[in-house]
A and B are shown apart, each in its own frame.
Chain A
């Protein structure tokens, strides 16, 4: 499984755009990149998933360069409620064998007023 490296913490102010970068140098050809968000005492929540280039949904954008050795989660105009831990995971898609997820340390994002 590809190991991921993220900053331990980030701070931002309301209304700013936040970019969280994840390194995954050993990503395999058929690995996907998935980001989850977790609030205290809650289960993680799926944010976005991508394989290459750019993916955008109503919550965030995910930028993946051509070499796929890193990815950047972009949160537009964050609010106080975006304060959470964000996890970057790399793994095979649902078509393969087990779908296990191994969480790294994640990035604690704190949004200030």
Chain B
């Protein structure tokens, strides 16, 4: 149990295009999902917190108009990188936190496998 998937796993796009990344909790309901970005040899950086049915909360320094987050259901959150540029190339990882009525229990978050974005 507690599986989180991401799609696509890898994407290459041209500069100026928009890219959508999906994050799904496959066997539990996630009232909260998180989006991280990780550059090579660096740690994960929290970008935003996504709550089902409400607007995402962005961390300081993260452009909300650049990184659009939608959390339309308890099992799906999407991150859209708008007008992508080469500096947006990174590894994007989502995580999901179970709701109070779901399993598994515990404080841990469950991470997706990540999406490698390369902007040419």
Interface residues of A in 40-54 (CB under 8 A from B): 41-46, 49
B107 and A43 contacting across the interface, CB-CB below 8 Å: no
Q: Among B34, B43, B98, B112, which residue has its beta carbon within 8 angstroms of that of A105?
A: B43
A58 to B110, CA, bound (A): 18
Task: Contact check, A100 vs B113: say whether CB atoms are below 8 A apart.
Answer: no
A106 to B114, alpha carbons, bound, how many Å?
18
Known A-B contacts A32-B107, A103-B43, A104-B43; A41 and B34 likewise in contact (beta carbons under 8 Å): no
Interface flag for B49 (CB, 8 Å): yes
Q: Is the CB of A45 within 8 A of B111?
A: yes
Question: 0/1 per residue, B4-20, Cβ < 8 Å to A?
Answer: 10100000000000000
Query: In the complex, A41→B49 CA distance in Å?
Result: 22
Count of CB-CB pairs between chains A and B under 8 Å: 61
B106 touches A94 (CB 8 A): yes
Which one, B66-74, B76-84, B89-97, is touching chain A? B89-97
- Cβ < 8 Å to B, chain A residues 5-50: 32, 34, 36, 38, 41-46, 49
Chain A residues with Cβ below 8 Å from B6 are 43
Query: B97 near A43 (CB under 8 angstroms)?
Result: no
In the complex the two chains form, is A99's CB within 8 Å of B43's CB?
no
A98-110 near B? 1/0 per residue, CB < 8 Å: 1111111110000
**Once the chains bind, are A100 and B43 in contact (CB under 8 Å)?**
no
Determine the chain B residues whose CB is within 8 A of the CB of A44 once the complex forms. Answer: 44, 93, 95, 111
Question: Is A100 in contact with B107, judged by CB distance below 8 angstroms?
Answer: no
21 residue pairs of the A-B complex, CB under 8 angstroms, read A34-B108, A36-B111, A43-B93, A43-B94, A44-B44, A44-B95, A46-B109, A46-B110, A49-B107, A49-B108, A87-B44, A93-B107, A94-B97, A94-B98, A94-B107, A98-B49, A100-B34, A100-B46, A101-B34, A103-B45, A105-B43
